[in-house]
Each structure stands twice: as structure tokens, then as C-alpha cells.
């Protein structure tokens, strides 16, 4: 992202998004809802988006307004309403949080296999995946000239290790894992999704950095404006926004660094038990990290839409945005931070 282009609203495909849930994956009875989406709006409230277009904008409806819209009976709860109420309470719609949350809340899915990132996003995450698997490559292919451009390339090397030294090391690894050498690729494939989730969360955090910087810098003209600085509530709002952006991003980064450390240690003391331990630890934080990143992504994307460049809007317009949009629901993001220490 360069200065000439400025900031752009974050616009992933539905399955790659932190804050969009395509309702086509949920078995709903109402045909009109099959093409709709459940989204987190700028106030971090869930809303059903019936349509979205550059010209017409976003057609959003509150979940509780659906019975009147579709003529559902009022004397009993329509099955779709019950499901949507539960979905609306989920803190994030990223695929990794959804896998856990949907099962925990007993929400049906047409196909759980659909809960995965798009091939395009997976390819985009390759550089992160290689970071997590580099210790493994060093262990097996140290000193050998091998080219790895994707996680699939890595698995192919383990399926057909044509280098004698590598095969010997692979046999040693299989013994440590107490599995047959031919089962190593399948074993790594099972854990590849866990590494992919870490890569996805790291990617989502990294791309938010310029947004964090721009948002915090936008507070300075508000604080120094001769009239605005007299507004005590506005000054407190600016302080809270800056505190939440800095503290939550630091908490996510800190947790991801812990995962990085444990992953490196795992390769040094490789065993099935260690693999399962690291996998379980990471998955315990999926929903928490997803909730924090979802909230920050929605807020930063909305900020970018309103103020794409440093000179977009003046202090008064920015102050209005901070008071009316940015601060709304930010306490939900703040509450997530407590979960990082509670887990």
C-alpha cells in the first residue's frame, strides 16, 4: 500500500473475510436469505445484508426486523430467526473462529468442508506458512538445494524424498513421531491447517499496521484544534480509541509471538504429543484472536473508507466520525483483551 493510493477499505472475498458470513453455507428455509450475508457493521453489530452495490450502497436489516419483512408468524419463533440470533452473537466470522463457534452453539452448516480460505488467499499466505515450516525444512533438507513456493511444495518433498540424506532424516523423524515414514506427509497435512490459521491471523494483523498508524495520527489535529480540545468527552474518546488500537494490537502480536516460539520448540522436541499440545493451544485462542481482529478490521476499514488520505476531511469531520462511529462498540473490542489473560 503506497501513499499515492492511500488507504482502501479492506475487501476480502466472503470466505476470507473477518466480518462477512455468506448465509448460503447455513441451511435456512427462507430462499431470499440464501443469497444474503450476515455482516458486522461499523458499530460491530450484526446485520443481514440483503444487497450491496456501488450505486445503491448496502441494504442492511437488523435480525429482529426479519419477521416483519418476511411475514413470519409472531406466535412462535421461526427456525431461521433462531439460527440468525445465534449467529449474530458470534464475535467474528473468519473461518477458523466459525469452525469452533458453530459447533459450540449447535448451529448447522451445509458443508463444514466449505469453511476454508479461498485458494487465492492460501497462496497469498505462502510466505507466512514457509516461516512456520522453515525449521522442518532445516531439519530434513539442511544443506540441500530445494525450492519451496507453497505448503503443497513442502508436502510433495515429503511424499517423494529423492535425496538420500533427506530420506534418512525423514525416517528418524517418523520414528520420533512413532508413525510410518509414508504417513509423515498425511500427518503434516493435518497440522498444515493449524499453521495456515496462524499465517492468516498474522497476515490480518500485519496489513492493519498502516491503518493503525493513520488512525492514531488523525487524532492529533483533533486534540490540538482550538475549539475541539475544549470538549472533555471528545478528548476522552480520542484517548480510548488510541489505547484500544495500541493495546489490542500489542496483545494479538504478543500471543502470535508465543505461538511462534512454541512452534519452533516443537520442531526441536518433535513428538505426536508435542504436536497435539501446540495445535490445541493455538485452537484455544482462535475465537479470541478472531474477535479482536474482526473488530479492528471493521473499524479500520470504515476509517479508510471515510478518510483514505491524510488530508481527507478536517479535524471537525474526523471528530464527528470518532464520536459517532469509531467509539461505538469499541468496548466490545476492549473486552476481548481480558480473554487473552484469562485463557
50 domain residue, yes or no: yes
Residues 295 and 92: their CA atoms lie apart, in Å, by 8
Mean per-residue pLDDT for 103-113?
A: 89
* Confidence (pLDDT) at 3: 45
What is the predicted pLDDT for the residue at 47? 96
Q: pLDDT tens-digit profile of 281-290?
A: 999 999 999 9
Same domain, residue pair 208 and 313:
yes
Q: Give yes or no for residue 194 having a pLDDT over 50.
A: yes
Mark which of 84, 116, 148 sits at the end of a domain: 116
Claim to verify: residue 262 and residue 336 sit in the same structural domain: yes
Q: Which of 184, 218, 237 is the last residue of a domain?
A: 184
Domain of residue 26: give its range: 14-116
Cβ-based neighbours of 45, under 8 Å, separated by 6 or more = 62, 329
Secondary structure of residue 48 in the 3-state scheme: strand
Q: For 8-17, 141-150, 165-174, which range has the lowest pLDDT when averaged over its residues?
A: 141-150
Helix (H) or strand (E) run with residue 47 in it: strand 46-53
Diameter over CA atoms, the chain: 74
* pLDDT value for 256: 95
* pLDDT single digits (tens) 224-241: 999 999 999 999 999 999
* pLDDT value at residue 270: 82
Span of 4-13, 108-117, 291-300, 320-329 with lowest mean pLDDT: 4-13
pTM of the full structure = 0.89
User: What DSSP state is assigned to residue 26?
Assistant: S
How many other β-carbons are positioned within 10 Å of the β-carbon of residue 131?
Answer: 15
Same domain, 111 and 127: no
The stretch 22-48 carries a mean pLDDT of 95
Q: What are phi and psi of 53, to 5 degrees?
A: -150, 150
With vertex at residue 206, the alpha carbon angle to CA 302 and CA 45, rounded to the nearest 5 degrees, is 35
Cell of 39: 455482516
327 and 277, same structural domain?
yes
- The residue out of 83, 116, 149 marking a domain boundary is 116
Count the domains in the chain: 3
Q: Is the pLDDT of residue 223 over 50?
A: yes
> 272-284 and 232-268 are packed helices; what angle lies between their axes, rounded to 10 degrees?
170
Do both 240 and 112 map to the same domain? Answer: no
* pLDDT for position 1: 45
Q: How far is CA 153 from CA 141, 260, 270, in A?
A: 13, 22, 21
Per-residue pLDDT tens for 79-107? 999 999 999 999 999 999 999 999 999 99
Q: Where are the alpha helices (DSSP H) in the chain?
A: 31-34, 66-70, 79-89, 95-104, 119-124, 126-141, 151-159, 164-177, 184-217, 219-224, 232-268, 272-284, 286-306, 315-321, 330-342
163/159: higher pLDDT? 159
Say what the alpha-carbon torsion angle 229, 235, 241, 244 is, to the nearest 10 degrees. 130
Which are the contacts of 331, defined by CB distance < 8 A and separation ≥ 6? none
One DSSP character per residue, 167-198 reads HHHHHHHHHHHTS-GGGHHHHHHHHHHHHHHH
Amino acid at each position: 500500500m503506497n501513499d499515492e493510493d492511500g488507504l482502501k477499505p479492506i475487501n476480502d472475498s466472503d470466505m476470507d473475510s473477518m466480518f462477512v458470513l455468506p448465509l448460503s453455507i447455513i441451511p435456512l428455509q427462507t430462499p431470499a436469505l440464501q443469497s444474503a450475508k450476515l455482516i458486522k457493521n461499523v458499530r460491530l453489530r450484526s446485520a443481514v445484508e440483503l444487497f450491496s452495490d456501488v450505486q445503491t450502497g448496502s441494504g442492511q436489516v437488523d435480525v429482529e426486523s426479519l419477521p416483519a419483512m418476511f411475514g413470519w408468524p409472531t406466535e412462535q419463533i421461526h427456525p431461521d430467526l433462531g439460527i440468525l440470533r445465534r449467529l449474530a452473537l458470534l464475535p467474528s466470522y473468519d473461518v477458523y473462529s466459525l469452525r469452533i463457534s458453530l459447533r459450540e452453539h449447535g448451529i448447522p452448516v451445509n458443508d463444514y468442508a466449505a469453511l476454508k480460505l479461498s485458494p487465492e488467499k492460501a497462496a497469498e499466505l505462502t510466505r507466512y506458512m514457509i516461516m512456520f515450516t522453515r525449521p522442518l525444512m532445516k531439519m530434513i533438507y539442511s544443506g540441500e538445494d530445494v525450492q519451496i513456493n507453497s505448503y503443497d511444495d513442502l508436502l510433495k518433498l515429503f511424499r517423494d524424498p529423492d535425496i538420500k540424506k533427506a530420506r534418512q532424516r525423514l525416517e528418524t523423524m517418523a520414528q520420533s513421531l512413532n508413525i510410518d515414514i509414508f504417513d509423515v506427509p498425511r500427518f503434516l497435512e493435518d497440522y498444515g491447517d493449524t499453521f495456515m490459521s496462524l499465517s492468516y491471523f498474522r497476515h490480518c494483523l500485519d496489513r492493519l499496521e498502516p491503518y493503525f498508524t493513520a488512525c492514531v495520527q488523525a487524532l492529533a489535529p483533533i486534540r490540538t484544534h482550538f475549539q475541539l480540545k475544549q470538549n472533555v468527552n471528545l478528548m476522552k474518546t480520542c484517548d480510548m480509541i488510541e489505547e484500544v488500537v495500541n493495546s489490542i494490537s500489542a496483545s494479538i502480536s504478543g500471543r502470535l509471538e508465543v505461538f511462534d516460539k512454541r512452534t519452533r520448540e516443537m520442531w526441536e522436541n518433535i513428538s505426536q504429543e508435542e504436536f497435539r499440545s501446540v495445535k490445541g493451544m493455538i485452537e484455544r485462542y482462535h475465537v479470541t484472536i478472531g474477535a479482536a481482529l474482526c473488530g479492528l478490521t471493521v473499524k479500520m476499514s470504515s476509517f479508510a473508507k471515510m478518510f483514505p488520505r491524510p488530508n481527507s476531511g478536517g479535524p471537525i469531520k474526523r471528530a464527528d466520525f470518532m464520536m459517532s462511529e469509531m467509539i461505538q462498540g469499541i468496548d466490545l473490542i476492549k473486552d476481548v483483551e481480558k480473554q487473552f489473560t484469562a485463557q
